[in-house]
Amino acid sequence: MQAKLIPYLEFENAKDAIAYYQSVFGATNAYRVSPTVAEAERFGLDPAVDLEKMTMRGGFQIMGLDIQCADALMGQPTSSTLISLMLAVNEDDSASVKALDALYQRLVKSDVKVISPFAKQSLGGKMGQIVDAYGITWILSEQDMPVSSAPTDTAE
């Protein structure tokens, strides 16, 4: 089985959010698609709305990881402390460790709220936690990531 878990974020204005993540997080490969007239009708949007300002599908990458997003078409989005996004790198990969540290340094110079500084932990590796301008909690973590073999299907 092949599967991926991709964070999917909803914003009041995903176009502005994508620009924020590009500016503050250094997001790359950003894209956005406006809704078609048929999609706008299906979601019950005001016919006078400027569809070019809206985002039906969008996304970007942070450190090569996919994040998708859209405008919250079903009402005002709210942030939640039930879910955090953890961005973890292999503590033995010096390039990844350096990139994560650079991201943290970039973030603390912006409008994020630092919950816990990105620092060495008693169990090893560094970890830190921030909340971005949209209320999304990000956990930055260096972890031991042993190489494991892919699971095999042994059922006949």
Considering the domain boundaries, does residue 63 fall inside one? yes
Which pair of structure tokens corresponds to residue 53? 């300002």
pLDDT tens across 35-76, in order? 999 998 888 888 888 999 999 999 999 999 999 999 997 777
Considering the domain boundaries, does residue 137 fall inside one? yes
Considering the domain boundaries, does residue 19 fall inside one? yes
How many domains does the structure of the chain reveal?
2
Pairing mode, strands 8-11 and 65-71 = parallel
Considering the domain boundaries, does residue 23 fall inside one? yes
Residues 137 and 91 both lie in one domain? yes
| Identity of the residue numbered 134 | Y
* This model's pTM is above 0.85: yes
Residues 90 and 60 both lie in one domain? no
**Ranges of residues in the chain whose predicted pLDDT is under 70:** 147-156
- Tell me whether residue 124 is exposed, middle or buried, using C-beta atoms within 10 angstroms of its C-beta: 0 to 12, 13 to 18, 19 or more: exposed
Closest-CA residue to 100 (of 64, 145, 136): 64
pLDDT at 29: 98
pLDDT at 31: 98
For residue 21, the enclosing domain spans 8-71
**What would the DSSP string read from start to end of the chain?**
-------EEEES-HHHHHHHHHHHH--EEEEEEPPPHHHHHHTT--TTS-GGG--SEEEEEETTEEEEEEE-TTS-----SS--EEEEEETT-HHHHHHHHHHHHHHHTTTPEEEEEEEE-TTSSEEEEEE-TTS-EEEEEEE-----PPP-----
CATH of the domain at 66: 3.10.180.10
pLDDT at 148: 60
Residues 12 and 67 both lie in one domain? yes
